[in-house]
Structure 1
């Protein structure tokens, strides 16, 4: 098997990725990501619209356009890419004092070494200040923060004075919103803005190409971190279930590193997650595509460190597959340690390999080719098995 050199992100792609990763986000507080992505799509004339629940639909300019694509004729399935725009974080609840903000946490988090950890505060206009965690209470399952206080210095308190507590949200703060180091990119929230970035770039390439576009849709979802809330709301609209042509849901994720899914060795053909394995026919196409476009530079694994939106699609009866980028320090917990991680399993920036992100873009482009064997992905395998049977027919 030939092995390609590790793909690389161009300076322009790196700049666009960095700009997205710098956006503050949390469950139900995805507005800055939505606005950033919307500006990007308008600039590049990529059709998009918001569904009734605030998820961003890409590849169609309206519900009618969306439905028309799903009813159009064709043997190729509509590729419905899905990524989520939130990351675990907190909402402001009330001011306990001018320098003490009570917050509620949504999603997973580290549970050790939290007292004094730095917090980033954001509001409707972006990042507005910082503080430190105190009086942290862990949830009943022991897997994340339930509530806490954010304590501010006098200067920090002055910077946010007069703001309504509920207008503020945030997460952990590190040395910078985004930085690069030794081929990796560090930030508070790579999960799942890396998946969002892959959809942005895939859509941009499709809409700037003069060639006919293979059938493409994407859904950028809200509040995935607390149970696929945005994805389930979109699925319950029933729009995808009314399709009269084939479709396949492609979940894009940044997923916790595991044995066999290592940062820097390429994107992962995700065979399943903690809840389920994925659709075999679609997985065959995905695996064959990865073998062709990233020989020796991709990985294959059941990524059972968590669940993803392919599980939600499967639960609603839709064929689903998944691609993951291996993620260091999943949900800001210092599993791998590194820069700005003062203690093992304490707060830490998430990180991904830039070459893995470049490989993800290449694999997404490969899935949009018009010559993939969606109708009968096992034909070649059957032929090989039949040839082997004929070889031994006299012994049968």
Structure 2
């Protein structure tokens, strides 16, 4: 377990840095940016300005990396969460596909790799700021205990103040997921879901033609 006063979002920053270090050793066939923004809590200010000014190319796939409060359906220790949305916005399936391909690659190497998929609706994150400005976005979240240092729900007059904490395994697996996803950008069109549906549709179409 990792615990400290402000894991939200130092854990996300650390994961991005670790991924960039690995990418320096094993470069990806794409331009990769690590962005660290400010003033998230008061309105996604830093992320919103970067997105609005198009500081990064408009065709960039944005993966927001942060901690997010544990909610029903999400457990600490069961892996990082592929985040389909937040309290404000639903994210992009095309961007999520890159994380899905990375997850499948990691599972092929290690069948015990743990991951989760959920709309993390406890709060909003930087992905929303990019999404509303036209970027294709998705997210990776580390399930967080004592969100905003509250040992119970916010606000709760009977609650106390405690260290924020996440699972070490979730953090390590999430960093692997982010690093691996960088090498999947060039193969983003190779969607197993699309291929399976197209294959089924083709078979049924041919069957219906024969029947008529």
Alignment TM class, shorter chain as reference: 0.7 to 0.9
Distance in 1 (CA, whole Å) between partners of 2:177 and 2:211 is: 43
When the two structures are superposed, what TM-score results if normalisation uses the length of structure 2? 0.85
Q: Does 1:323 align with 2:140?
A: yes
TM-fit CA distance, 1:387: 4.8
Which has the larger share of strand? Answer: 1
Distance 1:384 1:335 in 2: 49
Following the alignment from structure 1 to structure 2, what is the Cα–Cα distance between the partners of residues 236 and 366? 28
1:267 corresponds, among 68, 80, 104, to 80
Stretches of 4+ aligned residues off by more than 6 angstroms: none
Say if 1:381 and 1:247 are closer, same or farther in 2 by CA, change over 3 A.
farther
Compared CA separation, residues 286 and 347, structure 1 to 2 (3 A): same
What is the distance in 1 between the residues matched to 2:194 and 2:86? 27
Shift of 1:353: 0.3
Larger relative contact order (CA 8 Å, sep ≥ 6) = 2
Distance apart, 1:386 and its partner CA: 2.2
Which structure's residues are more often helix, by fraction? 2
Q: Distance in 1 between matches of 2:188 and 2:31?
A: 13
Q: For residue 292 of structure 1, report the CA deviation from its aligned partner.
A: 3.0
- Whether contact under 8 Å (1:214, 1:370) holds in the other structure is no
Q: Do the aligned residues in 1 keep the contact of 2:30 with 2:185 (CA within 8 Å)? A: no
How much has 1:226 moved relative to structure 2?
1.2
Equivalent of residue 304 in structure 1, options 92, 103, 121: 121
Paired residues in the alignment total 203
1:373 has 2:187 as partner = yes
The verdict on how the C-alpha distance between 1:212 and 1:312 changes in structure 2, with shifts beyond 3 A counting, is closer
Cα 1:301–1:391 shift into 2, 3 Å: farther
RMSD, matched Cα:
2.4
Alpha-carbon distance in structure 2 between the residues aligned to 1:232 and 1:226:
11
**Cα distance, 1:237 vs. partner?**
2.5
1:335 has 2:152 as partner = yes
Please tell me whether residue 255 in structure 1 is matched to residue 71 in structure 2: no
Shift of 1:372: 4.8
